[in-house]
């Protein structure tokens, strides 16, 4: 049995980005760029008005000055003739600055002074309200580096660079297979004592999507060794295989033996953590294999600690790892474990600090408790109480970091 941090490092040490592929910009959100994108032109590629107003020569401006207005320039239009001294051109935001002018005075600082004339109410300096050519980025400059996760702002920048298709790292295909003869489809009603609706494959499916993997639910294979071995062998075609149940030491927990027989190199089996001690990790060729406990909370936690970070590494986030936060207990936590203990908690930010509220739980099968939590607080092994106000360390569940709402 190994410690949690050692297990995490073993998993991450095997990770490397998967192959690259082109995607349409409209479908690229969440992918990681596998190329560096440079500016193909200057941004802006012309001197541009940043406000609605009048393009003027700064030396012509001043309180009470009256200038002749030669016309109007809208965004997308050009003005080629130089503007004479003592003249102005009405200009809209985004329009190119006409030659012979070097400032834009806001329309609010002007008033009409008769037909074809404008009165200025202030003096302006050269360059006022003008975005100069190349001011935002010069041609050839790095706009988005390789390894960036594409979000809405990056998508806008890529579009401005003319990139309607981009090169990204492929995200992993993840097979999810449950074991256990007691499992039935969620659409069924338990007809006999001991039957349990399959919930783990649905929960793990959702976690894969949240972490930006591509999940494929493979159903459940029961506890029959031959049937289970055949199902696992077929599932080795995926980048990542997640098995849930059958990894402990019961009479029907044959997953570790089957994996070994199929040539999976077991990197570790059993981690000093609670819940989730039986977790298994191995690799065969280009497939990463995880065996998670059948209890839903243990499976959920094992995914957050080991599989989620691996997905991000495989998807191109080369340095991804779980972010740990420091906070204080906002209620009494009681620890009684010979392993590192993770307590589902509700964490909020109040009075300049993170406060962790314990969530009542009836054990590793009580997935209902995790619904009301957004984090896991970590406690080292031992028997002790952590009263309110004591320092604690925690990580947020992916996609569930909140602000001040309790």
Write out the residue range of the structural domain in which residue 150 sits. 22-38+141-169
Tally the residues of the chain.
406
Task: Provide the pLDDT for residue 249.
Answer: 60
Residue 67 burial (CB count, 10 A): 24
Task: Give yes or no: residues 80 and 188 share one domain.
Answer: no
Q: Is the pLDDT of residue 194 over 60?
A: yes
Number of domains in the chain: 4
- The 8 Å CB, 24+ separation contacts for 364-371 are 364/274, 364/275, 364/276, 364/293, 364/295, 364/296, 364/297, 364/298, 365/295, 365/296, 365/297, 366/297, 367/199, 367/203, 367/296, 367/297, 367/300, 369/297, 369/344, 370/296, 370/297, 370/300, 370/344, 370/397
Q: What is the tens place of the pLDDT at every residue in 160-181?
A: 999 999 999 999 999 999 988 7
State the pLDDT confidence band at 189, using cuts at 50, 70 and 90: confident
In a domain, 293, yes or no: yes
Q: Over the range 245-256, which residues count as b (16 or more CB within 10 Å of their CB) and which as e? A: bbbbeeebbbbb
In a domain, 53, yes or no: yes
The rounded distance, in Å, linking the Cα atoms of 313 and 310 is 5
Please check whether residues 375 and 292 belong to one and the same domain: no
Answer whether residue 405 shows pLDDT above 70.
Answer: no
Whether residue 292 is found in the same domain as residue 356: no
Residue 402 lies in a domain: no
CB 290 within 8 A of CB 307: yes
- Summarize the confidence of residues 58-67 as an average pLDDT: 97
From 314, 333, 365, the end of a domain falls on 314
Whether the per-residue pLDDT at 220 is higher than 60: the answer is yes
Contact yes or no for 300/367 (Cβ under 8 A): yes
CA distance 254 to 150: 42
pLDDT at 134: 97
Pure H helices in 164-285? 200-210, 225-235, 255-261
The predicted pLDDT at position 298 comes to 95
Let me know whether 161 and 26 are in one domain. yes
Structure tokens at 65: 């000055």
**pLDDT class of 64 with cuts at 50, 70, 90:** very high
- pLDDT value, residue 250: 58
pLDDT, position 195: 86
What letter does residue 96 receive in the DSSP assignment?
Answer: B
Same domain for 307 and 176? yes
Q: What are phi and psi of 207, to 5 degrees?
A: -60, -40
Count of CA atoms in the C-beta half-sphere (13 A) of 142: 7
Nearest alpha carbon to residue 30 among 146, 145, 206, 150 = 150
Per DSSP, the three-state class of 297 is helix
Is residue 249 located within the same domain as residue 381? no
Residue 247 placed within a domain:
yes
On whether residue 286 sits in a domain, the answer given is yes
Q: Are residues 105 and 238 in the same domain?
A: no
pLDDT of 184 higher than 90: no
Q: Which residue has the higher pLDDT, 126 or 245?
A: 126
CATH code (residue 33)? 3.90.105
Please name the helix (run of DSSP H) or strand (run of DSSP E) that holds residue 346, with its range, or none. strand 340-350
Determine which helix (DSSP H) or strand (DSSP E) holds 69, and give its type and residue range. Answer: strand 66-73
Q: Are residues 26 and 154 in the same domain?
A: yes
- Say yes or no: 32 and 64 in one domain: no
**Mean local confidence (pLDDT), 49-68:** 97
Query: What distance in Å separates the CA atoms of residue 74 and residue 58, rounded to the nearest whole number?
Result: 21
307 in helix, strand or coil?
helix
Both 337 and 231 in a single domain? no
The answer to whether residues 386 and 333 touch, using CB atoms and an 8 Å cutoff, is yes
d(CA 227, CA 382): 41
Q: How far apart are CA 125 and CA 121, in angstroms?
A: 13
Res 375: pLDDT = 97
Last residue of a domain, one of 269, 289, 314: 314
Q: For 117-136, how does the pLDDT look when each residue is reduced to its tens digit (9 = 90+)?
A: 999 999 999 999 999 999 99
What CA dihedral angle connects 184, 185, 186 and 191, to 10 degrees? -40
Tokens of 30: 């969440």
pLDDT at 260: 94
Q: Residue 320 falls within a domain, yes or no?
A: no
CA distance 156 to 394: 34
Of all residues in the chain, the percent with pLDDT exceeding 90 is 85
- How far apart, in whole angstroms, are the C-alpha atoms of residue 57 and residue 99? 10
Question: Residue 360 is encoded by which pair of tokens?
Answer: 């009542």
Give CA–CA dist 88/39, Å, rounded: 33
Q: Are 135 and 111 in contact (CB under 8 A)?
A: no
**Which helix (DSSP H) or strand (DSSP E) does residue 154 occupy?**
helix 152-160
Q: What is the CATH number of the domain that holds 309?
A: 3.40.980.10
Q: pLDDT of 252-294, one tens digit each?
A: 568 999 999 999 999 999 999 999 999 999 999 999 999 999 9
**206 alpha carbon, distance to own chain's centre:** 14
Select the more confidently predicted residue: 150 or 187.
150
- Residue 303 is classified by DSSP as I
* Same-domain pairing of 165 and 177: no
pLDDT (mean) for 14-34: 97
Say whether both 61 and 74 belong to one domain. yes
Instruction: Assign residue 71 the CATH number of its domain.
Output: 2.170.190.11
| pLDDT at position 193 | 81
Rounded average pLDDT over 327-347: 96
Residue ending a domain, among 314, 335, 367, is 314
Q: Can you tell me the mean pLDDT for 138-151? A: 97
The 10s digit of each residue's pLDDT in 70-93 is: 999 999 999 999 999 999 999 999
């Amino acid at each position: 049995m190994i410690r949690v941090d050692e297990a995490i490092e073993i998993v991450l040490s095997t990770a490397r980005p998967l192959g690259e592929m082109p995607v349409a910009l409209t479908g690229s959100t969440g992918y990681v760029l596998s190329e560096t994108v440079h500016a193909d032109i200057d941004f802006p590629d012309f001197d541009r008005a940043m406000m609605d107003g009048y393009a003027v020569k700064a030396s012509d401006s001043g309180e009470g000055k009256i200038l002749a207005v030669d016309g109007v320039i809208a965004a997308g239009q050009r003005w080629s003739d130089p503007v004479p001294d003592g003249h102005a051109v009405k200009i809209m935001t985004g329009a190119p600055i006409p030659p012979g002018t070097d400032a834009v005075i806001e329309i609010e600082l002007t008033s009409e002074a008769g037909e074809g004339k404008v009165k200025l109410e202030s003096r302006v300096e050269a360059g006022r309200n003008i975005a100069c050519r190349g001011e935002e980025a010069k041609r050839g400059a790095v706009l988005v580096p390789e390894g960036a996760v594409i979000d809405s702002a990056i998508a806008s920048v890529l579009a401005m660079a003319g990139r309607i298709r981009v090169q990204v790292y492929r995200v992993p295909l993840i097979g999810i297979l449950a074991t256990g003869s007691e499992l039935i489809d969620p659409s069924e009603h338990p007809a006999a004592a001991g039957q349990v609706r399959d919930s783990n494959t649905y929960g793990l499916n959702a976690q894969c999507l949240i972490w930006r993997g591509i999940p494929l639910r493979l159903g459940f294979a029961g506890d029959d060794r031959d049937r289970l071995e055949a199902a696992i062998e077929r599932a080795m075609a995926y980048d990542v295989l997640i098995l849930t149940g059958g990894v402990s030491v019961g009479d029907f927990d044959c997953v570790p033996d089957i994996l070994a027989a199929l040539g999976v190199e077991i990197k570790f089996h059993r981690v000093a953590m609670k819940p989730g001690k039986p977790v298994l990790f191995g690799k065969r060729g280009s497939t990463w294999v995880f065996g998670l406990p059948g209890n839903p909370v243990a499976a959920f936690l094992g995914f957050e600690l080991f599989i989620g970070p691996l997905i991000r590494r495989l998807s191109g986030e080369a340095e991804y790892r779980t972010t740990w936060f420091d906070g204080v207990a906002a209620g009494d936590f009681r620890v009684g474990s010979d392993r590192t203990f993770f307590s589902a908690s509700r964490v909020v930010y109040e009075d300049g600090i993170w406060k962790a509220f314990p969530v009542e739980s009836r054990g590793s099968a009580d997935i209902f408790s995790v619904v009301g939590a957004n984090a896991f607080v970590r406690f080292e092994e031992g028997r002790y109480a952590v009263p309110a106000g004591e320092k604690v360390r925690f990580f947020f569940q992916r996609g569930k970091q909140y602000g001040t709402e309790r």
